[in-house]
């Protein structure tokens, strides 16, 4: 490797680090994306230059064209509301690439009689196992996010025992191959074990845990890439994969803390089954207070401080632009408007930030949970748009609730709570929300985009004196 290529790799690695740093804040996120893109372009071009002239230039160009043909339409035509699904597919493609490269390297080495050291075989086997596991796991996550597969946990008796046994078989095959890489019959066992375990790992996980699953799969894909770097002797792959793996793991830890859950509970707890309220027969007497768009507009028009709590329902309805329009109208009316962002609102980390940024909501209005929770007690209105579990006060008050102890947005402490929701059905966690029956709660039933548009219309007519 020439000094020029090494310098290019160093620059690319620095850009990757800066990209992660800048992506951690909304105000610098665009700069972070640009830094990552430039870093990857430098990485690809310098790698091609390092082997120039490549013996298989035609295949390289074909692969680049094929990747572009798949990636460009995904980026251009997939709506922002489908970002979680796109992320899951990206994880699947990246992990599959790492797994196929590892498979190719193994069979080339065995066929040509090359010696595979214990370290190289270990890295190669880890790359293949984790790559195929992440590939099928990401496809299962995509299916759940897209609604192709049931969002509820799919469980059966002895499921964890089956999963651990399957992974154990794959690990035994890997250890045996490290000891004796010529045992080629064990390599398909490694592949099949990874593919099956990826499926069985994700299907018992419910929709409420998808943000953690997405970040965890991101970590797996990064670790597979780092292992591929060791196999190919490419330092930039090692750096990029390690950054991806570490950041994904740290993000998963943040997600688990945001839900007051452990990794084992997320992966093996089958969280997300529909749970009845613990109120017993008294639940039948609870009163739901619904309101129309004109009633909601009157309350908002008189409010001095409004905090909007968005959730996945806003994403599904693609209501972010109408919500921004509503916020602008309230601000012009002299109302202070804030957006309360829960870490696991939506279906991937940062989902609400991405949607609201796409709608040009000012960054200074976006407040993280810890920052905004003290503000609810001084708010005249908390407007909940398609958020369920992250606003459930049972997490603070009901010790029998499966989400007890999970940090939530304190929307119930506002003077008036307005909830835009299609129906009274529970959220992804399958848990009834007592917020909907509070005396200060108004339920606004309907599609989020249409209902917000109706409220905007009512405010416009009021401002015009109609």
Active-site positions read 389
77: burial class by Cβ within 10 Å (0-12, 13-18, 19+)? exposed
Query: CA 131: distance to chain centroid?
Result: 19
Q: Which ranges in 54-117 belong to alpha helices (H)? A: 57-77, 83-111
Q: Which of 294, 331, 326, 327 is closest to 466 using CA atoms?
A: 294
Q: What is the CA radius of gyration of the chain?
A: 25
Task: For residue 62, count other CB atoms closer than 10 A to its CB.
Answer: 11
CB 189 within 8 A of CB 62: no
CB 204 within 8 A of CB 154: yes
Task: For residue 371, count other CB atoms closer than 10 A to its CB.
Answer: 12
Taking CA 150 as the corner, what is the angle to CA 146 and CA 155, rounded to the nearest 5 degrees? 140
Distance from the first to the final alpha carbon of the chain:
74
Tokens of 374: 């003290």
Q: What separation in angstroms does the CA of 339 have from each of 130, 348, 372?
A: 38, 18, 8
CB 218 within 8 A of CB 189: no
In sequence order, the 6+-apart residues with CB closer than 8 A to the CB of 261 are 209, 212, 269, 271, 406
CB 221 within 8 A of CB 95: yes
- Evaluate the CA torsion angle 272, 274, 278, 282 in order and state its sign: positive
- In three-state secondary structure terms, 338 is strand
In sequence order, the 6+-apart residues with CB closer than 8 A to the CB of 8 are 42, 43, 45, 46, 49
For residue 189, the surrounding DSSP H or E stretch is helix 186-202
Tokens of 277: 């309220």
In sequence order, the 6+-apart residues with CB closer than 8 A to the CB of 398 are 278, 404, 434
């Amino acid at each position: 490797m020439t000094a020029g290529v090494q310098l290019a790799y160093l620059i690319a690695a620095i850009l990757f680090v800066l990209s992660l740093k800048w992506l951690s804040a909304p105000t610098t996120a665009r700069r972070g994306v640009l830094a990552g893109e430039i870093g990857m372009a430098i990485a690809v071009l310098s790698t091609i230059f390092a082997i120039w002239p490549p013996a298989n230039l035609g295949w390289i160009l074909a692969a680049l064209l094929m990747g572009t043909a798949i990636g460009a339409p995904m980026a251009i035509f997939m709506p922002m509301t489908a970002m979680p699904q796109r992320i899951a597919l990206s994880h699947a493609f990246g992990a599959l690439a790492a797994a196929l490269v590892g498979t190719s390297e193994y069979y080339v080495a065995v066929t040509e009689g090359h010696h595979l050291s214990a370290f190289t075989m270990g890295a190669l086997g880890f790359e293949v196992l984790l790559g195929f596991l992440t590939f099928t796991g990401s496809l299962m996550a995509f299916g759940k996010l897209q609604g192709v597969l049931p969002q509820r946990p799919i469980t059966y008796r002895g499921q964890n025992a089956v999963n651990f046994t399957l992974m154990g078989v794959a690990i035994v095959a890997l250890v045996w191959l490290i000891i004796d890489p010529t045992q080629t019959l064990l390599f398909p066992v490694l592949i099949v074990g990874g593919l099956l375990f990826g499926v069985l790992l994700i299907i018992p996980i419910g929709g409420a845990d998808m943000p953690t699953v997405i970040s965890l799969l991101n970590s797996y894909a990064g670790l597979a890439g780092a292992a591929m770097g060791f196999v190919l002797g490419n330092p930039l792959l090692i750096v990029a994969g390690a950054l991806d793996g570490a950041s994904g793991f740290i993000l998963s830890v943040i997600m688990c803390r945001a839900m007051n859950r452990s990794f084992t509970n997320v992966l093996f707890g089958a969280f997300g089954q529909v749970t009845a309220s613990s109120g017993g027969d008294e639940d039948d007497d609870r009163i739901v207070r619904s309101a129309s768009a004109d009633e909601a507009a009157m309350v908002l028009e008189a409010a001095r401080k409004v905090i909007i709590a968005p959730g996945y329902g806003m994403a599904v309805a693609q209501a972010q632009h109408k919500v921004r329009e509503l916020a602008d109208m309230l601000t012009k009316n002299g109302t202070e408007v804030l957006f309360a962002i829960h870490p696991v609102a939506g279906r991937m980390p940062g989902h609400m930030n991405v949607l609201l940024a796409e709608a040009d909501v000012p960054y200074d209005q976006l407040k993280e949970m810890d920052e905004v929770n003290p503000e609810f007690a001084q708010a005249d209105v908390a407007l909940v748009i398609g958020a369920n579990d992250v606003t459930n006060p049972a997490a603070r008050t009901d010790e029998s609730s499966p989400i007890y102890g999970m940090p939530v947005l304190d929307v119930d402490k506002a003077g008036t709570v307005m909830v835009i929701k299609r129906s009274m059905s529970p959220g992804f966690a399958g848990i009834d929300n007592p917020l909907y029956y509070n005396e200060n709660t108004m339920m606004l039933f309907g599609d989020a985009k249409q209902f917000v548009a109706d409220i905007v219309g009512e405010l416009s007519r009021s401002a015009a004196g109609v």
